[in-house]
């Protein structure tokens, strides 16, 4: 059972938009920045979003992040088959002095 | 170019020890917190441990506290994870990563390719 809760899977058609949620608590998301990671099959995770809504260099603007209270959301618009991957949210748990990841969400582009 | 290259994974018996290494190039240790993240077969990511950029503060997941030790050798630009009293549930791919952690921040990047640790019971 992860400290951060994500839906196990989401799906959408090519070209559509999908939102992936990440729910935490006041000691996690509520008082810390959230980051998001994409993991393609058989590869290492890749940073997509940091500090709730900032994109690293090279990440397209169809990728977005937001945070409200103790929840965060990753948005991916203009879906492509290449977006099929597992997505993880991550943050710091101030009460445990520990990093935490969500359980991951598998995105299927139908 | 930033590169993180893990090594030291392998097969070990339950109760045994293993030391993972992560050779870093392209960035300065003191500017980044260094982190180990693991992923059991078919499972999600699990944060394991972080060493502050200053090198004097360490953090550990409850599941490994007292058994694992994170450290670095600045002269060799290498991060280590000493793993003792290994259990079957420690079986995973272990990723080395840099990033900014602390002060409300949690940004893990860049990542290495990972090294597989298998603990046989």
pLDDT by residue (tens digit) across A4-63? 999 999 999 999 999 999 999 999 999 999 999 999 999 999 999 999 999 999 999 999
User: Mean pLDDT throughout A80-88?
Assistant: 97
Confidence of residue B31 (pLDDT cuts 50, 70, 90): confident
CA distance A22 to B47: 17
Burial string for B15-47 (b: 16+ CB within 10 Å, else e) reads eeebebbbebeeeebeebbbbbbbbeeeebbbb
B84 DSSP β-pair partners: none
pLDDT at B92 over 80: yes
pLDDT at A1 over 90: no
User: Mean pLDDT throughout A90-105?
Assistant: 96
pLDDT of residue B72: 96
pLDDT at A108 over 90: yes
* Residue B114 touches chain A, beta carbons under 8 Å: yes
* Residue A96 touches chain B, beta carbons under 8 Å: yes
**Taking a C-beta distance cutoff of 8 angstroms, is the pair B8, B116 a contact?**
no
pLDDT of residue B86: 98
Helix count and strand count (H, E) for chain A: 0, 9
Tell me the two tokens of residue A101. 């990841």
Residue A67 distance to chain B (closest CA, Å): 14
CA distance B82 to B70: 6
CB atoms within 10 A of CB A82: 8
* Residue B62 touches chain A, beta carbons under 8 Å: yes
* Residue A103 touches chain B, beta carbons under 8 Å: yes
What value does the CA radius of gyration of chain B take, rounded to a whole number of Å? 13
pLDDT at B89 over 80: yes
Select from B33, B22, B44 the least CA-distant residue to B92: B44
CA dist B27 to A58, B32, B97, B100, Å? 19, 8, 12, 13
pLDDT of residue B27: 82
Write the residue in B50, B109, B113 that is nearest to A99 by C-beta.
B50
CA distance B74 to B56: 13
Tell me the two tokens of residue A43. 């590869």
């Amino acid at each position: 059972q992860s400290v951060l809760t994500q839906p196990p899977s989401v799906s959408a058609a090519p070209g559509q938009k999908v939102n992936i949620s990440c729910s935490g608590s006041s000691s996690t998301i509520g008082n810390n920045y959230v980051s998001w990671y994409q993991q393609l099959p058989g590869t290492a995770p890749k940073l997509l979003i940091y500090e709730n809504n900032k994109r690293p260099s090279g990440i397209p603007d169809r990728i977005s992040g937001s945070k409200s209270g103790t929840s965060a959301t990753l948005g991916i618009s203009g879906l492509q088959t290449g977006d099929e991957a597992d997505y993880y949210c991550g943050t710091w748990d101030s009460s445990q002095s520990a990093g935490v990841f969500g359980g991951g969400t598998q995105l299927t582009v139908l | 170019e930033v590169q993180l290259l893990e090594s030291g994974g392998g097969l070990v018996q339950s109760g045994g020890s293993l030391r993972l290494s992560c050779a870093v190039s392209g960035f300065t240790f003191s500017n980044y917190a260094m982190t180990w993240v693991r992923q059991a077969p078919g499972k999600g990511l699990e944060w394991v441990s972080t060493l502050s950029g200053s090198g004097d503060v360490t953090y550990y997941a409850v599941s490994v506290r007292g058994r694992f030790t994170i450290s670095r050798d600045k002269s060799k630009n290498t991060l280590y994870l000493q793993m003792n009293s290994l259990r079957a549930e420690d079986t995973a791919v272990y990723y080395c990563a840099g990033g900014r952690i602390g002060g409300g921040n949690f940004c893990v990047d860049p990542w290495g390719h990972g090294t597989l640790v298998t603990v046989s019971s």
